[in-house]
Structure 1
Amino acid sequence: MLQPLRYAINVTLDGCCSHEAGLSPDAESMAFWTDELRRSDTLLYGRVTYELMEGAWRRPESGEWPDWMDASEVAFAEVMDPMRKVVASATLDAVDWNAEVVRGDVVEAVRRLKEHPRRGISLGGVKLPATLAALGLIDEYTFVVHPVIAGRGPRLLDGVDLKLELIEQRAFRSGAIVQRYRPAAQAMAPRE
């Protein structure tokens, strides 16, 4: 059985995916994202997303989390920090933070990753997910839709044509809505 590739991202009502757009994280949303991380044992990012995540969630050399982090952010960081990370990049020579670089045929590398039995692969970012979605490699999509119009920034799966089937929905007290989907063809197939 192939391990699932799950794409999850915050998005505004107008489809923007900038990490600066949307509502500020609160304890409820951070608990959700922490649980999302726990569903997988591998994180798959492009270079930009990897560097953003490393800058925010990597344990400092001192071993102490920064004062700006509240308990929910520390819980998230403590799950993310030790996880295996795979970075698709043509420009990075080396990475650390429990990471490895994938060069060349990223699609083939993702197919190989999916062949190893594990809990799953958590995919983040904007460009890499659009490439993988267009090829039908993503098994599940989770969008946390924020009640905000950003008006600028990268767009969710820009240029990708998909038909999705809603499999779960829930609201946060903040007004953000979690929407979980599967590709329509997979949603109709019998589960193993």
Structure 2
Amino acid sequence: MRKLIYGMNLSLDGYIATAGGDIGWGVPSDELFQWWLEREQAIEVFLYGRKLWETMSSHWPTGDQQPGATQAEIEFARNWRDTPKVLFSKAIDKADWNTRVVTGDAIAEITRLKAEDGGPMRVGGATLAGAAMRAGLVDEYEIVTHPVLVGGGTPFFATLDGRVNLNLVETRAFPGGPVVTRYERR
């Protein structure tokens, strides 16, 4: 059975984007970017909701060709293109870059994918991840908290029907103040 990981950058007050959709406050240091790269390289399948897909696909298909791209950004872009992706969307019916679009029941498809043999999957996007959390499908949380308060927007955590007990498996501080906390579901 595959492991499902939900991880993103978030503000200290718990948001992954401001009310206007800005995520520019979460710019990582080189060291934090390298940590993300290593985590992403371990993922076998990315699961995206529409909004995060639009954000990622607007930059990473050619991120390795941008002037001044660092070696880590080059590797990240190549890994992003090469890793299989599943986009859950009713608004988009075709996607490039090793991506399959699912327009039907996201929870049924994630459950099916989890039951397969293989490496870990990452779910991204607050709406999709929230549905996976409520369905009890998320096994691990990778939270990179940045030292900024944005005052509102898209929350990292969805409203749940009950408590979920977790075990802390990693904490690490990075230059500039971001702190990684990783938790596994008990």
TM-score scaled by structure 1?
Answer: 0.87
Identity %: 32
1-side partners of 2:116 and 2:109: how far apart? 12
- Structure 2 counterparts to residues 136-151 of structure 1, below 5 A: 136-151=136-151
Structure 1 match to 2:48: 45
Deviation at 1:68, TM superposition (A): 4.8
1:30 and 2:29 are equivalent in the alignment: no
1-side partners of 2:32 and 2:59: how far apart? 16
1:163 and 2:162 are equivalent in the alignment: no
The residue type equivalent to 1:113 in the other structure is L
Task: Summarize deviations over 1:23-69 as a string: whole Å, max 9, x none.
Answer: 42221111011111112110000111111101110137xxx611153
Question: Given the superposition, is the C-alpha separation of residues 23 and 108 from structure 1 closer, same or farther in structure 2, using an over 3 Å criterion?
Answer: closer
1-side partners of 2:106 and 2:79: how far apart? 26
Report SS of the residue matched to 1:132.
helix
Q: Which has the higher strand share?
A: 2
Q: How many residue pairs are counted as aligned between the two chains?
A: 180
1-side partners of 2:68 and 2:48: how far apart? 25
* Contact 2:10 2:26 (8 Å CA) reproduced: no
Structure 2 match to 1:16: 15
Deviation at 1:91, TM superposition (A): 1.3
Report SS of the residue matched to 2:169.
strand
Q: In terms of mean alpha carbon deviation, does 160-169 or 71-80 score higher?
A: 160-169
Structure 1 match to 2:6: 7
1-side partners of 2:44 and 2:7: how far apart? 14
Deviation at 1:21, TM superposition (A): 4.8
2-side partners of 1:68 and 1:7: how far apart? 30
Runs of 4+ in structure 1 off by over 3 angstroms are: none
Structure 2 match to 1:179: 181
Task: Summarize deviations over 1:133-167 as a string: whole Å, max 9, x none.
Answer: 01110010000011111113201113235332211
Question: Unmatched 5+ residue regions in structure 1?
Answer: 187-192
- Structure 2 counterparts to residues 21-170 of structure 1, below 5 A: 21-59=24-62, 65-160=65-160, 161=162, 162-170=164-172
2-side partners of 1:77 and 1:66: how far apart? 10
